Structure 1
């Protein structure tokens, strides 16, 4: 009898594993993303059907995604003590602030002083206090741990001095003398990270690219084929230090020094360089930087827009008064106690250029047409007119990524966000936070509704 029951259980399990694809699809449609991941192990057939569903949903979302603005809790949210810790996801199209997204994981991550070093394909890329990177999808509550970065940077260990609130980094080449101190791991470890594809399509396809270290070189990790022992390796980049990286159609595009561009093919297990273009930095921006050398800081971005590759130069006034006028540091007014008045940095202007592959030069662009760009510490992306309901076309939406000055004053930092109109050549606010200090800084993240 025992053997008979055992055979019956095996037969029943086999039937469940062979349910018709249409029936499984209907069942999976009613499940959450996390539940679909859980049931994949029932059988190879269930895995195949679930993977096809995930791919179709992710592809549908990726073709119609405009990122939301993610902000930490403000004073009002902290007083109300929302269940999600007060993190706000703002849909600018509908002018709606979402407080109802369950973000226990996100709250715990922020409380542990992890810093966000990128946002890509709807996933946030974090670095914890031990310089271990991981991915988080705040909408579907899924976390993916990535391999440690120590080997890539030649690090022996990282320790934090809680009293001094700084990190001590010890390197392999000379543990006794080669020591570096920093208050923020971002400046020594990862400056920016992007994903080659959406992990929802399957971890087997996942590649992660970072700009790392004080030299700002490129690192790559192929977290594919289910190998959790994957490691980081450096890419043979020529034009470091790098300013921006973009993954587009399974290729990596990197913006290097002097606005040079390199590309790698990410189809295989090992990236293969396909192109490098040595370029001259645009004359107009060169003159601007020369004439106003101490008044502006610059950020550089690489963006794909309707088949063209754009170079975006962002000008951040180092000290900007209430009238949006750049002032010199030595000319700042002082109060009765001779303490300088706060004149925080602020973005005032952008220059745009299109890459001419034949002439190998940057050509100035005066209009983005019906497109809008979204820039900052996240993926540099372009959205076309078909998805721009509620947004301003021919404009650029930006968040604060001036890491060098973000923590220098407790009164401001993370505040530099807005929308720049190319037609009007002016910046307008996109959200009134009520405070000049926004910590952690806002970032763009594509929502996952499933």
Structure 2
């Protein structure tokens, strides 16, 4: 990419480069070896660096950087007059706010939310891309990290299970098909719409599309009705970032609990907590079912009778695919997909190696732990948990040791998250 292209910034007086002229592929190679915070600092060095990184992001939306230390993301509510105290002064709600779990410090990206999205609905994030639903009921992918790149997606009116959208003055009236319910405002719809987003590099697994700048967006979604406490089963919807004019429902039956992109395929955990449907792009413009993994794990059946499960997460590691169950009492059980001897089954494990997991309600993040730069213990699970007392509620970070089966309060999260759920930045 970019052979023969270079970026130069010159001054008016000397006409000499203020930064060495580098080919674009060199910029891309260097950027791929840096973390996000390093890239943000690097692009501020000179105009040529800024232009090069902006060009890379716009021309290759699937570009990725090295993993950051674990962070939580707060999407600011523009209707609230809220400030955050940090060491350098006061941070106002003008952009995304990040909280580093290692250092306990805040950082933020100012002016990264376009005006048309400032009052939109935050739906989830994947691979550095944030999915919004704007006030105009249009889906938009935004990359707030690098130059605020935006990618329009098919509008809400084309989304599966939307029966009809009308307007009463300026307020949308959204009629949902199944379950049959009507929302009289965007705010009511967003409060009920539960989702998880997976951005997948479609070019890596489809022989019919050779443009690597096109990738797919998969949304796992569900609508809560009458303040019900449990969610699911979820459905799946798909579109791409280039040609699609509407969303496609992948499975009319639905019935999913979590999704993850693994080895160029989508793995979708079924509603029975253990079986998995694998989706791929083999000679197809939309994902198609490849096969089903029917687990025969005896350990899972034994746990079924002992614990009440409330959520499940699938996490990919460089070596394995993991499944994590969370119980009603916030205990965790981890399983590894074993494909030896021609069988596919989940095997319970007491160790996830030199890794730790950070979870919120739907997102999950795998991090390397136990080294000098990390304060997270290896083989541990960190859960952002909302704690309710008689007079208030707050969010705290709970640590769970997989081997000892023990949990404890790692540290209280800042007061800014007293009434808001932070999102794991994965």
Compute the TM-score of the two structures, normalised by the length of structure 2: 0.68
Task: Indicate if the aligned counterparts of 1:244 and 1:302 stay in contact, CA closer than 8 A.
Answer: yes
For 1:285, what is the secondary structure of its paired residue? helix
Mark the CA change 1:139 to 1:198 in structure 2 (over 3 Å): closer, same or farther: farther
Q: What whole-Å deviation, never above 9, does each CA across 1:161-212 have from its counterpart, x for those lacking one? A: 99xxx98422579xxx96456864356545211111499xx87332000112
- 1:207 paired with 2:216, answer yes
- Runs of 5+ in structure 1 lacking a partner? 1-17, 41-46, 291-296, 318-347
Task: Indicate if the aligned counterparts of 2:259 and 2:268 stay in contact, CA closer than 8 A.
Answer: yes
The equivalent residue for 2:318 is: 306
Q: What whole-Å deviation, never above 9, does each CA across 1:248-298 have from its counterpart, x for those lacking one? A: 2331111111122011114652213222123368234322335xxxxxx61
* Correspondence 1:394-413 to 2 at 5 A: 394-399=379-384, 411-412=392-393
Tell me which of the two structures has the higher relative contact order, counting C-alpha pairs closer than 8 angstroms and 6 or more residues apart: 1
Task: Give the superposition deviation at 1:77.
Answer: 3.8
Aligned residue among 126, 142, 156 for 1:136: 142
The equivalent residue for 2:74 is: 71
- Runs of 5+ in structure 2 lacking a partner? 9-20, 28-45, 77-81, 204-210, 224-232
Task: Indicate if the aligned counterparts of 2:162 and 2:174 stay in contact, CA closer than 8 A.
Answer: no
The 1-side partners of 2:201 and 2:48 are apart by 21
The equivalent residue for 2:373 is: 389
The 1-side partners of 2:379 and 2:168 are apart by 45
Task: Indicate if the aligned counterparts of 2:95 and 2:112 stay in contact, CA closer than 8 A.
Answer: no
The 2-side partners of 1:23 and 1:32 are apart by 5
Task: Indicate if the aligned counterparts of 2:381 and 2:399 stay in contact, CA closer than 8 A.
Answer: yes
* Correspondence 1:145-156 to 2 at 5 A: 145-151=152-158, 152-156=160-164
Task: Indicate if the aligned counterparts of 1:222 and 1:231 stay in contact, CA closer than 8 A.
Answer: no
The 2-side partners of 1:167 and 1:410 are apart by 35
Mark the CA change 1:378 to 1:133 in structure 2 (over 3 Å): closer, same or farther: farther
Q: What whole-Å deviation, never above 9, does each CA across 1:288-323 have from its counterpart, x for those lacking one? A: 335xxxxxx611111112332211112345xxxxxx
The equivalent residue for 1:124 is: 130
The equivalent residue for 1:191 is: 195
Aligned residue among 322, 328, 331 for 1:349: 331
The 2-side partners of 1:427 and 1:20 are apart by 55
In proportion to residue count, which structure has more strand?
2
The equivalent residue for 2:419 is: 438
The equivalent residue for 1:7 is: none
Q: What whole-Å deviation, never above 9, does each CA across 1:57-91 have from its counterpart, x for those lacking one? A: x44x24x444421235765449x653553753122
The 2-side partners of 1:289 and 1:128 are apart by 40
Mark the CA change 1:380 to 1:435 in structure 2 (over 3 Å): closer, same or farther: closer
The equivalent residue for 1:345 is: none
For 1:299, what is the secondary structure of its paired residue? strand
For 2:305, what is the secondary structure of its paired residue? helix
Larger mean CA deviation between 263-272 and 26-35 belongs to 26-35
